[in-house]
């Protein structure tokens, strides 16, 4: 006599549904890989731009390690990771740095590369960039 397949199939369906529910309810921060991945992405993107002579003028005298930590917390806060960002507002931080659109887009490209290099999915990458895009008006001053 054949064993009914209903119980195993039901188990697979319920398991798949609960995984889908978990993924659907996970924050962008979690889906990006959490603290470990966000920290790596932040450091990599910052170093890429800070060492690019075409756009690194805004990083003169900046403590990149300290900045990376602040940006990681900021990213955590804006992506639902539960962090509380206590730094200054973007407009205040970038005032007087004479950041151009070229500078801004160089950082965006460095961020894309770092996200790709660290295995962040296309969906998550696009969600993060949509969150960051409106900040351009507070960062670019020339």
> Taking the domains of the chain in order of start, what are their residue ranges?
27-139
What's the pLDDT score for residue 97? Answer: 86
Which candidate, 72, 92, 67, places its Cα nearest to that of 82? 72
User: Where does residue 127 rank: exposed (0-12), middle (13-18), buried (19+ CB within 10 A)?
Assistant: middle
- 142 residues of the chain, pLDDT tens digit each: 555 544 444 445 444 443 443 456 899 999 999 999 999 999 999 999 999 999 999 888 899 999 999 999 999 999 999 999 998 898 898 988 889 999 999 999 999 999 999 999 999 999 999 999 999 999 998 7
* Per-residue pLDDT at 96: 83
Helix 64-78 vs helix 122-132: crossing angle, to nearest 10 = 100
- Residues of 71-85 as b/e, b for ≥16 C-beta within 10 angstroms? bbbbbbbbbebebee
Contact 42, 32 (CB under 8 A): no
27-139 CATH fold: Globin-like (1.10.490)
Cα–Cα distance list, 51 to 45, 48, 54, 89, 128 (Å): 10, 6, 9, 25, 24
pLDDT given at position 17: 41
- Cα–Cα distance for residue pair 127/123, rounded to 1 Å: 6
| Torsion-angle region of 2 (φ positive above 0: left; ψ -120 to 50: alpha; else: beta) | beta
């Amino acid at each position: 006599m054949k064993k009914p397949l209903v119980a195993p199939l039901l188990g697979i369906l319920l398991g798949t549904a609960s995984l889908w529910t978990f993924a659907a309810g996970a924050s962008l921060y979690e889906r990006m890989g959490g603290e470990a991945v966000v920290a790596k992405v932040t450091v990599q993107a910052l170093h890429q731009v800070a060492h690019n002579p075409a756009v690194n003028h805004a990083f003169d005298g900046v403590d990149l390690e300290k900045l990376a930590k602040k940006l990681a917390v900021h990213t955590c806060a804006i992506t639902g990771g539960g962090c509380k960002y206590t730094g200054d507002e973007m407009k205040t931080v970038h005032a007087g740095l004479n950041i151009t659109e070229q500078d801004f887009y160089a950082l965006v490209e460095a961020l894309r590369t770092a996200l790709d290099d660290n295995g962040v999915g296309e969906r998550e990458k696009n969600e993060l960039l949509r969150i960051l895009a409106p900040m351009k008006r507070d960062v670019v001053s020339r």
